[in-house]
């Protein structure tokens, strides 16, 4: 069964990790998928993986820190592929440091990629969704968008901003055939996780295995999440059967955050 047949999904940060898993899962559900990120080589590899399974994939490289580039990319997608009906804002950046050592530059980068870029991606396709009275917007946030963690004030603030946008826009477009939700993963087997592990090793002197175990212990299941688990949640929220769900935060975190 392919509930998303006929839909066009745009996934950011689609070259690897959660984004790549989302692109593959959406294609398996029948959607045509547009993949965006900076690395053309990695995007092409992800697109080929989709095509090898009989899916449709289109590569549109994009620097999400460039607002004009986001708008131009959205126009190209509509002109060359078709109108976007599903948006998955997955690209993100996680940097950690004690509050008093967090630099302005790092704070600015995290806010730009984790909040401002998703805002402009959605803004660039929302008029068409409103006109067609149909759309699914899924933002990949984090447990950090639902609670606080030590040494991540900048990252946590950026994800809370993304959650705030999700909820506000959901209410704004609720009567117009568009749903807006967020998926909030816990620690997941991605490059972001490896960066966190390296930081723990560097600052504490622990081994890589000890650092990974430390992160896994934050999860009641005692393990790390898998990108495919997050992707399934994204596909669920994009499904027509989820049309009554909007403004919600769906945790894929093994029970880490229950409120």
The CATH number of whichever domain residue 122 belongs to comes to: 3.40.50.720
With 80 as the cut, is the pLDDT of residue 118 above it? yes
Q: Is the pLDDT of residue 64 over 80?
A: yes
Q: What is the mean pLDDT of residues 211-218?
A: 79
145-182 pLDDT tens trace: 999 989 999 999 999 999 999 999 999 999 999 999 99
d(CA 133, CA 19): 26
Name beta bridge partners: 178: 135
pLDDT number for residue 94: 92
Share the mean pLDDT of the chain: 94
Mean pLDDT of 59-66: 98
Do the domain assignments include residue 164?
Answer: yes
Which of the residues 58, 104, 151, 155 is marked catalytic?
Answer: 155
pLDDT at 204: 79
Q: What is the pLDDT of residue 213?
A: 78
pLDDT at 65 over 80: yes
Place 187 in a pLDDT band, splitting at 50, 70 and 90. Answer: confident
Report pLDDT for 197: 66
Query: Active site includes 155?
Result: yes
Selected residue with higher pLDDT from 189 and 31 = 31
Give kind and range of the element (H or E) at residue 185. strand 178-185
In a domain, residue 208? The reply is no
Domain with 64 in it: 8-191+228-252
CA 165 from centroid of its chain's CA atoms: 14
Q: Is residue 75 part of a domain?
A: yes
Domain-embedded: residue 202: no
Per-residue pLDDT tens for 42-51? 999 999 999 9
Q: Is residue 214 part of a domain?
A: no
- If one counts the domains in the chain, the total is 1
What tokens were used for 187?
């620690």
pLDDT in tens, 9-51: 999 999 999 999 999 999 999 999 999 999 999 999 999 999 9
Q: Which two tokens stand for residue 89?
A: 């804002």
- Check residue 205 and give its pLDDT: 77
What predicted TM-score, i.e. pTM, was given to this entire model?
Answer: 0.93
Report whether pLDDT(228) > 80.
yes
* Higher per-residue confidence, 87 vs 204: 87
* 2 located within any domain: no
- Residue 217 placed within a domain: no
Q: Is residue 76 part of a domain?
A: yes
């Amino acid at each position: 069964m392919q509930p998303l047949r006929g839909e066009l999904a745009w996934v950011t940060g689609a070259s690897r990790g959660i984004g790549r898993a989302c692109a593959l899962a959406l294609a398996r559900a029948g959607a045509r998928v547009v993949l965006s990120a900076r690395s053309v080589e990695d995007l092409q590899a992800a697109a080929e993986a989709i095509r090898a399974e009989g899916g449709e994939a289109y590569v549109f490289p994009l620097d999400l820190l460039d607002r004009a580039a986001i708008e131009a990319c959205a126009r190209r997608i509509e002109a060359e592929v078709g109108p976007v009906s599903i948006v998955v804002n997955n690209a993100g950046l996680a940097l950690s440091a004690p509050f008093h050592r967090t630099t302005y530059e790092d704070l600015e980068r995290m806010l730009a990629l984790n909040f401002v870029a998703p805002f402009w991606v959605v803004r660039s396709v929302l008029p068409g969704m409103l006109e067609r009275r149909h759309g699914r917007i899924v933002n990949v946030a984090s447990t950090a968008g639902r609670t606080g963690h030590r040494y991540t004030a900048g990252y946590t603030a950026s994800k809370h901003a993304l959650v705030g946008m999700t909820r506000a826009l959901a209410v704004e477009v609720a009567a117009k055939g568009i749903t807006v939700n967020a998926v909030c993963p816990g620690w997941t087997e991605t490059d972001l996780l490896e960066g966190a592990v390296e930081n723990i090793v560097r600052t504490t002197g622990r081994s890589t295995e000890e650092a990974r175990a430390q992160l896994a212990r934050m999860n009641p299941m005692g393990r790390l999440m898998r990108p495919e688990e997050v992707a399934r949640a994204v596909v669920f929220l994009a499904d027509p059967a989820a049309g009554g769900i909007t403004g919600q935060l769906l945790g894929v975190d093994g029970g880490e955050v229950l409120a």
